[in-house]
Chains A and B, each alone.
Chain A
Amino acid sequence: MPAIQLMDIDKFIENFTDLFDETDPATISATTQFKSLDEWSSLVALSVIAMVDEEYDVEFRGDDIRGSNTVEDLYNIVKNRVE
């Protein structure tokens, strides 16, 4: 079992930002519309699913990502499933 992290939006944003190679971390915040980032792709979506599984032991389905617009939306889904 992974060590489940306490839910903290700043840490979540950091984990999310780590998935990008070329995007300036400073440009990603809770309100960022992540699908409009140049680097966003279906492959980055897979790494979001992997990160959420590893860091929070939460299962993310395709619809969770399709239904989210901002980083905070993703955070809220994870938060609800952790609690």
Chain B
Amino acid sequence: MAKITFQGVGIKALSACVPPEVVYNKDLGYLIPEEEIEKTINNIGIEQRRIAAPDVTASDLCYKAACQLMEDNDIDPSSIDVLLFMSQTPDYRIPATSCLLQHRLGLPRETMCFDISLGCSGYLFALSTAFAYASMQGVNRVLLLDGETFSKIVNRRDKVDWPLYGDAGTATLVEKGDYGTSTFMLNTDGSGENVLKIHAGMRNPITAESCVEREQEDGNIRSDLEVFMDGMDVFNFAISKVPKSIKQLLKETEHTVDDVDYLIFHQANRFMMDFFVKKLKMSPERVPYCINKYGNTSSASVPLTIASELQGRLEGDHTVVLSAFGAGLSWGSAIMSMHDCNVFPVIEY
């Protein structure tokens, strides 16, 4: 377990962008028996999702979110020292998308840029990296862009994955300032590599065969280039690790659930989040959700939830817990004292 503590750095501003195209889960009759659709929607808590156009990538959504954030906060591009791009759906395999974003955003050549790739837990790990760089001498501001377009890597005839995922891009500005303590606890269990996976890669080289859609378990259809998830194993992993990790974080930082103003979960599915809330004995009004509107946007879901649900609610001082989990397996939680965080309404592109 990595337990990391920071002082004097924090989130100055946050923004998010989603595609305008809305896909409704009530229209999934081709995939799920009509009589089960309503029950499925109630259970996973996802009524609709946003799906990017074929020519719109995660980096486009992040770019728009970043432009909004920089404009509204009057941020001079030359003041950004580090740019991080966290995504599992980058523009290219080479080069790193963060380099393209440096140029597109007009950031100076002195900006340090690199990509981070992890699962739905990615925002927590990337945010800890942003905090770490912002803590260093020589760095004042870090721009963290976290975006995903899972619609491009999930088969529309996969009834486990397709009803869940939506697309979004987010921007988080981290900087030095008058911030209190933030503590991250980050964990990994690679023995669970097969629970959530895209098979094609360097281990299983991509051939013409990789693109062929095949009927897999329970009639689900996908190619080797698309996401496979064992829903039951992910659920078991999450319920056995997430509540415990939050309890441990609170204990180690000498907090109780009552000290937490907002607890923001990775928006995996509603049933799972409700289970966590019950296990933690957390009052539900302090756990914001946006999964009904945007679905599971993978690593972008934590910052998207803040942008969607906490706009205008993070002025002053607030104790906030963030928690996410996903492929790897990988999971983490953070507790931070947020101070006058500027949150913008979700925009569309």
Contacts and interface: CB of A to CB of B under 8 A. Distances in A.
Contact of B230 (A43, A59, A62): A62
A50 interface: yes
B160 A46 contact: no
Contacts of B39: 41, 43
Contacts of A66: 232
A46 B240 contact: no
- Chain B, interface size category, equals 10 to 19
Contacts of B36: 41
A29 B308 CA distance: 46
Interface string B210-241: 00000000100000000000111101100110
Interface in B222-277: 230-233, 235-236, 239-240, 271-272, 275
Contact of A50 (B40, B231, B275): B275
A45 B272 CA distance: 13
A54 B209 CA distance: 44
Given A53-B239, A53-B240, A59-B240, A42 B232 contact: yes
A20 to B, nearest CB: 12
Contact of B40 (A43, A53, A59, A60): A43
Contacts, number: 43
Interface residues of A, number: 16
B43 interface: yes
Contacts of B236: 49, 53, 59-62
A53 B236 CA distance: 9
B230 A49 contact: no
Nearest to B235: A46
Contacts of A45: 232
B239 A49 contact: yes
Contacts of B272: 46
B2 to A, nearest CB: 23
A42 B33 CA distance: 13
A28 interface: no
Main secondary structure of the interface of A (DSSP, over half): helix
B272 to A, nearest CB: 8
Contacts of B160: 42
A42 B44 CA distance: 12
Interface string B31-45: 000001001100110
A7 interface: no
B232 A65 contact: yes
B178 to A, nearest CB: 40
A41 B236 CA distance: 16
A65 B235 CA distance: 13
B55 to A, nearest CB: 34
A45 B235 CA distance: 10
Given A41-B36, A53-B239, A59-B240, A46 B233 contact: no
B233 A61 contact: yes
A60 B233 CA distance: 8
B269 to A, nearest CB: 9
A49 B236 CA distance: 6
Nearest to B39: A43
Interface in B19-41: 36, 39-40
A49 B40 contact: no
A66 B231 CA distance: 12
Given A47-B271, A49-B232, 19 more contacts: A41-B39, A42-B231, A43-B39, A43-B40, A43-B44, A46-B232, A46-B235, A49-B235, A49-B236, A49-B239, A50-B239, A53-B236, A54-B279, A59-B236, A60-B232, A60-B236, A61-B233, A62-B230, A62-B231
The 9 A-B residue pairs with the shortest CB-CB distance, nearest first, are: A62-B232, A62-B233, A43-B43, A46-B235, A62-B230, A59-B240, A49-B236, A53-B239, A50-B275
18 contacts: A41-B36, A41-B39, A42-B218, A42-B231, A42-B232, A43-B43, A43-B271, A45-B232, A46-B231, A46-B271, A46-B272, A49-B235, A53-B236, A54-B279, A59-B240, A60-B236, A61-B233, A62-B231
